[in-house]
């Protein structure tokens, strides 16, 4: 599996906090870079965003497509289901 | 000339209030955390409450349950005033539309006469149950300890009042806004033998002073049996013969029950896990409450569903046991 880094970047606001907390919890290799008004999460190889963990942090039901509202940019090939949003380089 | 654009990040000196930082560390806190944790005063009570001179204004000794930290009773829905009111406002809009739809086609009065009578005799009196629950929630909010619990109890109190009104509106749909159904339903609540068990248990609940016991009896025992019995089992039986008009009117109540149970279950689990003392208390309270409410609901189940009533109540009771066992209370 490729260890080339993937990343995902969100606006830094109250809506994205549970998403960011969830990503950091589920991806031990992820590194959090806080910039002005923007949060970028880098991770070598593979990064998983899990619906269940976000729901735990947000305290409500969460549709993974809600990610798009505050999404700024990402790098990696996307594999998306109702429960997981995965970023990785497949080749 | 070259222009160099640079960004400069300004780090805030502190990310949140000090009392929140003491609990969660100095990082950005959620609105729920900021609005809920450690908000209640714990020191500098200059005056003892005259009505209870042995205790402080806010006192942990008003319940037998003991917690090292009452703020462990987190609400998994993370409701604070702001997001609670927005959520409920949206749900109220949806409920209003359901009601208008039913009203504009007069669907309730189009039901067979016997079905309308069943509705008035078996469901509309529940508005008195909800008013009672409203009072109990207000008691929990007033005497409970820790703003994280009392705010959720106060919101539940408002919910119960709203649901009493939903039921009243269903009554008005049944009688064409004359109020006759409400008067008839009150008569049922006051005088019908089918209802006296429920009414007695509710009135017994009014005089429970221990606020956490009150919470357990109202939300776990009473709601835990009554809601699935009426809004699920009876609703299914009623729909089989009369179509789904009632189900659409019950929509909010069913959703509320599911949502509220997330909070109730979380509180119960945390308290049961805290100590054997707590677990034993909960076990005693729930065992007794479950038996009393089950007995109280038996005649009502029969009145609602006839011969199938007993079986329905047994089913609800089994589900109830499974639920509390899973939360760490063996009954």
Residue among B152, B108, B178 nearest B264 (CA): B152
Chain B closest CA to A63's CA: distance in Å?
16
pLDDT interval class at B272 (50, 70, 90): very high
Rounded Cα distance between B151 and B147, Å, is 6
Q: What DSSP string describes B112-168?
A: -HHHHHHHHHHTTTHHHHHHHHHHHHHHHHHH-SSHHHHHHHHHHHHHHHHHHHHHH
Contacts of A62 in chain B (CB under 8 A): none
Please classify residue B225 by burial: count the beta carbons closer than 10 Å to its beta carbon, then call 0-12 exposed, 13-18 middle and 19+ buried. buried
Are the beta carbons of B9 and A36 separated by less than 8 Å? yes
pLDDT at A1: 73
What are residue A6's DSSP bridge partners? Answer: A43
Residue among B230, B228, B249 nearest B126 (CA): B230
pLDDT at B117: 96
What are residue A74's DSSP bridge partners? Answer: A8
Are the beta carbons of B75 and A59 separated by less than 8 Å? yes
Are the beta carbons of A17 and B8 separated by less than 8 Å? no
Chain A residue with the nearest C-alpha to that of B87: A60
State mean pLDDT over B117-121: 96
Would the pLDDT of B122 be above 80?
yes
State mean pLDDT over B162-191: 96
Chain B residue with the nearest C-alpha to that of A56: B76
pTM: 0.91
A75 in helix, strand or coil? strand
Q: What DSSP string describes B299-314?
A: HHHHHHHTTHHHHHHH
- CB-based contact (8 Å) between B265 and chain A? no
pLDDT interval class at B12 (50, 70, 90): confident
φ, ψ dihedrals at B329, nearest 5°: -115, 105
- CB-based contact (8 Å) between B30 and chain A? yes
Q: What DSSP string describes A8-40?
A: EEEE-STTTHHHHHHHHHH-TT-EEEEETTEEE
Chain A residue with the nearest C-alpha to that of B30: A14
Encode pLDDT of B310-323 as tens digits: 999 999 999 999 99
Q: Are B285 and B203 in contact (CB under 8 A)?
A: no
Encode pLDDT of A43-83 as tens digits: 999 999 999 999 999 999 999 999 999 999 999 999 999 99
pLDDT interval class at B3 (50, 70, 90): confident
Would the pLDDT of A85 be above 90?
yes
pLDDT at B288: 97
């Amino acid at each position: 599996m490729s260890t080339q880094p993937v990343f995902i970047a969100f606006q830094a606001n109250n809506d994205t906090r549970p998403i960011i907390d969830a990503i950091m919890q589920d991806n031990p290799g992820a590194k959090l870079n806080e910039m002005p008004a923007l949060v970028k999460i880098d991770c070598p190889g593979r990064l998983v965003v899990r619906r269940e963990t976000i729901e735990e942090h947000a305290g409500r039901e969460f549709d993974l497509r809600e990610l798009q509202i505050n999404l700024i940019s990402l790098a990696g090939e996307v594999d998306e289901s109702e429960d997981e949003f995965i970023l990785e380089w497949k080749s | 000339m070259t222009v160099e654009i640079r960004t400069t990040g300004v780090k805030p000196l502190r990310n949140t209030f000090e009392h929140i930082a003491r609990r969660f560390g100095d990082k950005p806190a959620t609105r729920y955390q900021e609005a809920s944790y450690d908000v209640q005063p714990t020191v500098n009570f200059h005056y003892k409450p005259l009505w209870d001179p042995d205790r402080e204004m806010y006192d942990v000794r008003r319940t037998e349950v003991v917690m090292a930290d009452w703020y462990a009773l987190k609400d998994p829905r993370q409701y604070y005033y702001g997001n609670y009111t927005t959520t409920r406002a949206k749900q109220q809009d949806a409920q209003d539309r359901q009601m208008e739809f039913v009203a504009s086609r007069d669907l309730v009065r189009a039901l067979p006469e016997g079905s309308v009578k069943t509705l008035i005799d078996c469901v509309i009196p529940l508005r008195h149950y909800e008013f009672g629950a409203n009072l109990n929630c207000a008691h929990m909010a007033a005497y409970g300890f820790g703003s994280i619990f009392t705010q959720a109890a106060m919101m539940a109190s408002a919910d119960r009042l709203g649901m009493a009104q939903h039921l009243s509106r269903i009554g008005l749909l049944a009688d064409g806004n004359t109020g006759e159904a409400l008067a008839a339903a009150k008569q049922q609540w006051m005088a019908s033998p089918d209802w006296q068990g429920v009414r007695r248990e509710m009135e017994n609940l009014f005089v429970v002073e221990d606020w956490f016991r009150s919470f357990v009896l109202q939300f776990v025992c009473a709601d835990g049996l009554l809601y699935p019995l009426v809004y699920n089992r009876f609703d299914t039986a009623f729909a089989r013969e009369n179509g789904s008009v009632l189900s659409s009117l019950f929509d909010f109540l069913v959703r509320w029950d599911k949502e509220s149970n997330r909070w109730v279950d979380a509180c119960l689990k945390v308290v049961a896990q805290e100590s054997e003392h707590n677990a034993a208390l909960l076990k005693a309270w729930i065992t007794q409450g479950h038996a009393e409410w089950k007995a109280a609901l038996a005649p009502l189940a029969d009145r609602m569903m006839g011969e199938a009533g007993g079986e329905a109540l047994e089913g609800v009771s089994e589900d109830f046991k499974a639920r509390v066992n899973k939360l760490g209370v063996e009954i």
